[in-house]
């Protein structure tokens, strides 16, 4: 296979992959669960507004969100999945309310009568009551009453109810994780909407917005046949493609052996004299070592929170460094030290390969190092400020904790990190340009 064909295959794979991602990305965006302008009862009482739901999501993100528990299955599992937890509790309480409406006690009823109320429950929960003309979700007064009870329950967990101390310890949630009743009310609005999405059928369909997730037979949330079909198909595709790779490797084994015989007898960089910019990368490696040590320490603390959710061997560490911060730092520092070592290696190798040190290259290496320090320590500080509820909704989004997995840093830090990567790419291209211009070198590998 010629180099031209290899480039063609690479381009085809990239274009094909992104075509699939874009197609399904657009499809997912088109079918995104609606955020209503307001949620009201059948008698017109306003339960929450769309802005309450959006602000509640911001509150959820600000406390570390997916490092505390999960929503729609995405996040940590020290605490529950709040959308699944809310939905199941809502279902049980609503069964009691439906029976009470007819003067009965649900738990005292025989199985056949309980089955009747379970059917009523499914009709109550699964029916899509979104009025598209006014973008309003309409719920029954009974469901509104249940949601008020659940709001009180979750406020006790995330604030400071003494009777929830043991449960908070099990969930590794510090007391007063949410500082004010106003913020807690908004987060409850977000929780109730997230649960509504899980149980409400899509318009004209018999599956919910989350494809009948979470599994809960009480309310008819069972996996649809399409889920089994595509899961099985994806596993078969994976095994088939792995088989093709093994076949290709076995068929070209002799060619690989011949290519190994063409390797140089000794390391061509062994007797090389480092340039100023290459020597400037040494501090990157020291920072990598420091970040690894801090990451390990954060990992130890995070693991211990799985045993002692409110402290560290009796010391109330969660008052200063909650699990959501130690977990965020643990994951984020791994990404940072891997990225830093990657950047340092590229900056060191580029002049060695080309034999050329561009003008002001060492200045660029030092500026990039300073920028990395600002992003690393600034984002870690921002995450702490966000989780400790010292930032507003917008400020937290920009500078604090994004609330998502792996991308915990705020949006400003994400942008600065991207700028740093672009600066690194410019420094790399400057240093590699002479080698890329040579016709006798392996330009394809450098590219």
What is the rounded CA–CA span in Å between residue 381 and residue 375? 10
Quick one: which of 358, 378, 330 has its CA closest to 434? Answer: 358
User: Distance between CA atoms of 325 and 386, rounded to whole angstroms?
Assistant: 9
The three-point CA angle 343-346-350 to 5° equals 150
Would the CA dihedral through 348, 364, 377, 79 be positive or negative? negative
Better-predicted residue by pLDDT, 14 or 446: 14
- Main-chain dihedrals φ then ψ at residue 231, nearest 5 degrees: -65, -45
| pLDDT grade for 240, boundaries at 50, 70 and 90 | very high
For residue 399, the model assigns a pLDDT of 94
Reported as type and span, the H/E element at residue 41 is strand 38-41
- Backbone conformation region of residue 211, classed left if phi is above 0, alpha if psi is from -120 to 50, else beta: left
Residue 186 CB neighbours (<10 A): 25
Query: Residues 69-79: pLDDT tens digits?
Result: 999 998 888 89
**Which residues touch 35 (CB under 8 Å, ≥6 apart)?**
50, 53, 54, 193
Contact 340, 288 (CB under 8 A): yes
In the structure, what pLDDT confidence band is assigned to residue 323 with cuts at 50, 70 and 90?
very high
pLDDT at site 29: 84
- What does the pLDDT look like over 348-398, one tens digit per residue? 999 998 889 999 999 999 999 999 999 999 999 999 999 999 998 889 999
10 Å Cβ neighbour count for 16? 10
What's the mean pLDDT in 122-133? 94
For residue 74, give every residue at least 6 positions away whose Cβ sits within 8 Å of its Cβ, in sequence order, or none: 66, 405
User: What is the DSSP code (8-state) at residue 408?
Assistant: -
The pLDDT mean for the chain works out to 92
pLDDT of residue 275: 92
Does residue 441 have a pLDDT over 70? no
How many C-beta neighbours within 10 Å does residue 424 have? 21
Cross-strand pairs, 136: 38, 131
Alpha-carbon distances of 10 from 3, 4, 135, 222, rounded to whole Å = 11, 10, 46, 40
pLDDT tens readout for residues 150-187: 999 999 999 999 999 999 999 999 999 999 999 999 99
pLDDT 10s digits, 63-106 = 988 888 999 998 888 899 999 999 999 999 999 999 999 999 99
| DSSP label of 389 | T
């Amino acid at each position: 296979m010629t180099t031209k064909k290899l480039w063609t295959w690479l381009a085809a794979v990239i274009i094909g992959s992104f075509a699939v991602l874009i197609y399904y990305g657009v499809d997912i965006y088109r079918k995104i669960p609606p955020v209503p302008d307001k949620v009201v009862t059948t008698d017109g009482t306003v339960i929450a507004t769309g802005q309450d739901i959006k602000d509640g999501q911001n509150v959820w993100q600000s406390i570390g969100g997916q490092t505390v528990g999960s929503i729609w299955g995405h996040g940590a599992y020290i605490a529950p999945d709040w959308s699944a937890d809310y939905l199941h509790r809502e279902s049980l309480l609503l069964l009691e309310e439906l029976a009470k409406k007819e003067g009965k006690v649900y738990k005292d009823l025989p199985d056949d009568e309980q089955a009747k109320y379970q059917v009523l429950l499914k009709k109550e929960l699964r029916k899509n009551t979104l009025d598209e003309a006014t973008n309003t979700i309409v719920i029954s007064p009974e469901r509104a009453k249940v949601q008020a009870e659940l709001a009180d329950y979750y406020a006790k967990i995330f604030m400071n109810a003494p009777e929830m101390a043991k449960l908070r310890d099990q969930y590794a949630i510090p007391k007063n994780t949410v500082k004010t009743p106003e913020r807690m009310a908004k987060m409850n609005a977000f929780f109730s909407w997230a649960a509504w999405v899980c149980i409400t059928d899509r318009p004209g369909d018999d599956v919910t917005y989350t494809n009948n997730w979470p599994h809960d037979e009480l309310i008819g949330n069972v996996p649809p046949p399409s889920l089994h079909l595509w899961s099985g198909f994806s596993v078969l595709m994976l095994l088939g493609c792995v088989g093709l790779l093994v076949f290709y490797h076995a068929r070209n084994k002799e060619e690989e052996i011949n290519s190994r015989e063409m390797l140089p007898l000794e390391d061509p960089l062994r007797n090389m004299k480092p340039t100023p910019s290459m020597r400037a990368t040494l501090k990157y490696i020291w920072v990598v070592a420091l970040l690894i040590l801090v990451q390990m320490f954060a990992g130890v603390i995070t693991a211990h929170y799985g045993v002692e959710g409110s402290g560290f061997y009796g010391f109330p560490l969660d008052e200063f460094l909650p699990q959501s911060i130690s977990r965020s730092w643990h994951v984020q520092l791994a990404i940072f030290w891997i990225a830093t070592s990657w950047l340092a290696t590229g900056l060191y190798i580029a002049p060695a390969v080309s034999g050329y040190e561009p003008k002001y290259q060492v200045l660029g290496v030092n500026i990039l190092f300073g920028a990395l320090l600002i992003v690393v320590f600034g984002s870690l500080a921002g995450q702490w400020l966000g989780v400790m509820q010292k930032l507003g909704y917008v400020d937290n989004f920009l500078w604090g904790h994004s609330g998502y997995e792996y991308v915990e840093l705020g949006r400003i830090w994400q942008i600065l990190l991207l700028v740093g990567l672009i600066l690194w790419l410019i420094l790399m291209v400057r240093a590699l340009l002479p080698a890329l211009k040579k016709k006798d070198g392996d330009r394809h590998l450098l590219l």
